[in-house]
Structure 1
C-alpha cells in the first residue's frame, strides 16, 4: 500500500508540474508528509533520528520566521522533485537487467581477477558507467559480482568510492546535480561539459593513486579459472555504453527543446524507457516479475532515503533567510572578495564539518545554493555549482554518515572513518586541489 502512495505522489507531482493547480500542490505535499511518517518505523535508527531532528528543526525555523503552514508546505514542495527522482530512477535498472548487461559486466571483471590494477580500473570504470543511472544500486551490483573474490578491504573501499563519486559531479539522475542546478537555475546543457571534466579527472587521479598504493602493498587476487570475452559479451558491453550515452543524450536534447526542469525530464525518461521495453513483443511477461519486484521491494526499501532527503530539504529551505544564513552569507561573501581560494576553502570546510556531524548534504549544500548569490560573490553560477558539487562529492566519500560510506564500510568490513579518511582522504584532497584550481580559472 505504501508503494502505491509513494508512486501516486510522484505521478501527481509530475502532473502538477505541467498543470500548476494549487489544490493539487497541497495534495502532493500531504502525500509526501504521509510517506515521511510512514517511512519512519521501518527506517534504520540513525536515519530515523536524523530525519526527525532535521524535519523538526526545519519546522521550528519556519514557524519562527512567521511563515507557518505555507512556509512548511513550500519547503516540502521544493524537495519533492528529488523524492520523485530517487523513487523513479531505479526503474532504469529493469531494462539493464532484462537485457543481460549485468552478466556481461560480471564476466569482464572476472577476466581481470589476476591483474589488480586492471581489476581496479575495471571496477571504477564500470561504476563510472553505471552509477550515473543506477545510483547506489550500482555499488550493490558490483559487490555482488565480486563478493566471492574476497577483495582486500582497502581495495574495495578505494574502488567503490572513487568509481561512484565520479557521477556526483555530472549525472542528471543524481540528487546532487539536480538539486544544485535547480537552485542555481543553471541549464544542464551549459554545465555538463565542466562536470564531465571533473569526473574524468577524479577517475584518473584515483587510478594513479591506486597504482602507487599497489606498488607499496603488492597483492594478488587469485582466480581459479579463465574467463574469455566472446563476441556476444563484447557486443553487450558496447550496447551498455550506447544505452547510457543514449539516456544522457536524450536528457540534453529534451532540455534544449522544451526547457523543462532536468529533474522532471529524468523522471519522465525513467518511466518511459521501461514502458517502451515492456510493450515490445514477448517482453511483458519477462519484465512483469521485475516490475513487481520494484513495486514490492525497491520502493518500500527507500525508507532511509525518504527520511533523510525530505527532512534535509525542509531544513535547507527553512535555514534560508535566517540570521544564521545571512551571517554565513556575509562571511563567505567577504572571503570571496578577498580571494576565491579562501572562499572555496571556507565552503569546503563548512560542508565537511557539518556532514561529518551527521547533517545530510542536501541540507548543507542546499542551504548554501539557495542563500549564496553568484553575482555578489563575483563568480559565475557554473563556478558556484562546480564548487558545491565538489564539496558534495568530498562529503559523500569522507563522512561516515553518508549512505555511500555506510554501505561501503559494511561491504569492506571496516569503519566509516577508515573508508573515508584513510582509504580515500588523499584522493579527495587531490581532487579538491585540482578542482578548485580549475574552477578559479572559469569563475
Structure 2
C-alpha cells in the first residue's frame, strides 16, 4: 500500500466519521448525501486492498444482498439508508482512538509501571490490579490497552504465559460487556434504539461477577506462580514514588472527567451516547494537551491516527459498512420471516433456550471467520425479542454478552492475534485452549443471570 493511498483512505475515513457527527447536530440533507458518496468512495478504494479472507466475506455479503433484492421490497432509498446504517459504529471506531492521545502524551505508563512494580510479588493483588488497568485503559485505547498492559506485566516477570494471556484477554473482553466506548455497545444500542443507562448497570454487575469467576478459574495458576516468586527479589524502577502517585492520580482524573463529560452531554443535550463520545474524543484530548503545553505532541499523534491507524482499520471498517447494508436488506426480505418462523417455532416459549441459541449462532459463524459484527447486526435488526418472552433490554444484554463470550475463543479476532504475536504462542492456544473454561463459564452464567430479569 503506497504512501498517498494511505493518506487518502485516512482522510476519507475520518471525514465520514466527522461528517456523521456534524449531521447529527445540524440534520442537513446535503450532508447526508455527501456521506453516502464518501462511503461508496471509501468502499471502492479499500475493497481491492483487503485481506483475502475479509474480501471474500464482503463479496459474499454483497452477492447475498443482490440475491435477496430479487424478492424484497427494498428501493434505492432503503439501500442508501442501509449503507449508512452502521455509521454510528463506524464513527466510534474511527474517532475514539483519539482518546489514546491522552495516554501517549501524558507520561502515565512509567507511573503505572512503578505502581505495578510495588505489588507484583502478591499475585492475587497483581491479578486485580492488571484486570482493572486493562479495563480502564481499554475504555480509552480499545485493543491498544492489551499492548500497554503487556508492557506493564513485563515488570512482574511472570513465568506462566497463560496467566498473562488470560488476564489481558478476559479483562479486555469483559470491557465489551459494559463500555459505551466500544463498538459492540454502539451497534447494539443503535439498532435497538436504547440508551446506555437502559442496560449499563446490569452489564457492569455481570462484568464483576465474571471477573470474580475468572479469578477462581486462574486461582491454581496464580498460586503456583506465587510459590515461584516467594524467593525472587523485586526489580526497582527508577522513578519517584510521589511523582508516580501524582501521575496515576492525574490519569484517574482524566478518565473520570472524560466519562463525566460524556454522560453529561448524553443526558442533558444530545441523547446519543455515540455522538457524546465522539465529541469528547474530538475535543477533550486537544484541549487537555493544550493545557499541558503538549499540543505539538497532539498534532503528531493526530497525524499518526489519520494516516496510519485509520488505514490499518480498513478491514473492520469495510465489514461494518457492508454488514449494515446486508442487515437492512435482510430485514426487508422473505429470509427474515423464515428465520423468525424457525426461531419462534422452536424456541418461542423458551427464552433461556433462545439465549443459548444466540450464543451458539454467533459462535458458529465466528469459528468459520465470520465476525460477530455480521451476526449481531443480523439479529439486532431482524429479531423481535418480545416474541421470545424477553424485553429489548435483555435482548441487548444477550447480544453483548454473547459477542464478548465468542470473542474469547474465536481465533480470528484482533485480541487473539495481538496476544499470539506478543506471547509467541499459537493463536489457537491463546484463544480456544486457554479460554475454553472461561467460555463454558460464560455459557453457564449468561442464561442464569439474564433469567433474573425476565
Distance (whole Å) between structure 1 residues aligned to residue 44 and residue 159 of structure 2: 39
TM-superposed CA distance for 1:103, in Å, is 2.3
The residue number in structure 1 matching 2:376 is 365
Q: Verify the 8 A CA contact 2:131 2:171 in the aligned structure 1.
A: yes
TM-score by length of 1: 0.91
Distance (whole Å) between structure 1 residues aligned to residue 185 and residue 269 of structure 2: 19
The residue number in structure 1 matching 2:252 is 241
**Cα distance, 1:60–1:236 mapped onto 2, change above 3 Å:** farther
> Tell me, what secondary structure is at the counterpart of 1:358?
coil
2:192 to 184, 187, 192: 184
Q: Verify the 8 A CA contact 2:420 2:427 in the aligned structure 1.
A: yes
User: For residues 36-435 of structure 1, what are the structure 2 equivalents within 5 Å?
Assistant: 36-62=43-69, 64-146=71-153, 149=157, 152-215=160-223, 220=228, 225-227=235-237, 230-280=241-291, 282-435=293-446
TM-superposed CA distance for 1:335, in Å, is 4.9
Distance (whole Å) between structure 1 residues aligned to residue 55 and residue 160 of structure 2: 32
Q: Verify the 8 A CA contact 2:349 2:389 in the aligned structure 1.
A: no
Distance (whole Å) between structure 2 residues aligned to residue 334 and residue 371 of structure 1: 16
Q: Verify the 8 A CA contact 2:122 2:226 in the aligned structure 1.
A: no
**Cα distance, 1:128–1:278 mapped onto 2, change above 3 Å:** closer
Q: Verify the 8 A CA contact 2:143 2:415 in the aligned structure 1.
A: yes
TM-superposed CA distance for 1:8, in Å, is 1.4
Distance (whole Å) between structure 2 residues aligned to residue 71 and residue 439 of structure 1: 34
Distance (whole Å) between structure 2 residues aligned to residue 72 and residue 137 of structure 1: 34
Q: Verify the 8 A CA contact 2:71 2:333 in the aligned structure 1.
A: no
- Which 4+ residue blocks in structure 1 deviate beyond 6 angstroms? 216-219, 221-224
Distance (whole Å) between structure 1 residues aligned to residue 363 and residue 370 of structure 2: 10
For residues 299-349 of structure 1, give each alpha carbon's deviation from its aligned partner in whole angstroms, at most 9, with x where no partner exists: 222222223322333323332243333233233334554222211111111
Out of 21-30 and 340-349, give the one that drifted further: 21-30
Out of 342-351 and 144-153, give the one that drifted further: 144-153
TM-superposed CA distance for 1:388, in Å, is 0.9
> Tell me, what secondary structure is at the counterpart of 1:379?
coil
Distance (whole Å) between structure 1 residues aligned to residue 190 and residue 208 of structure 2: 23
Show structure 1 runs of 5+ residues with no match.
none
Distance (whole Å) between structure 2 residues aligned to residue 320 and residue 251 of structure 1: 32
Out of 314-323 and 130-139, give the one that drifted further: 314-323
Q: Verify the 8 A CA contact 1:89 1:267 in the aligned structure 2.
A: yes
Q: Verify the 8 A CA contact 1:59 1:72 in the aligned structure 2.
A: no
> Tell me, what secondary structure is at the counterpart of 2:179?
coil
Q: Verify the 8 A CA contact 1:351 1:391 in the aligned structure 2.
A: yes
**Cα distance, 1:332–1:219 mapped onto 2, change above 3 Å:** farther
Out of 297-306 and 157-166, give the one that drifted further: 297-306
For residues 119-162 of structure 1, give each alpha carbon's deviation from its aligned partner in whole angstroms, at most 9, with x where no partner exists: 33332221111112211111122234446847533223211211
TM-score by length of 2: 0.89
Show structure 2 runs of 5+ residues with no match.
1-7
1:4 aligns with 2:2: no
Root-mean-square deviation over aligned CA pairs: 2.5
Q: Verify the 8 A CA contact 2:350 2:388 in the aligned structure 1.
A: no
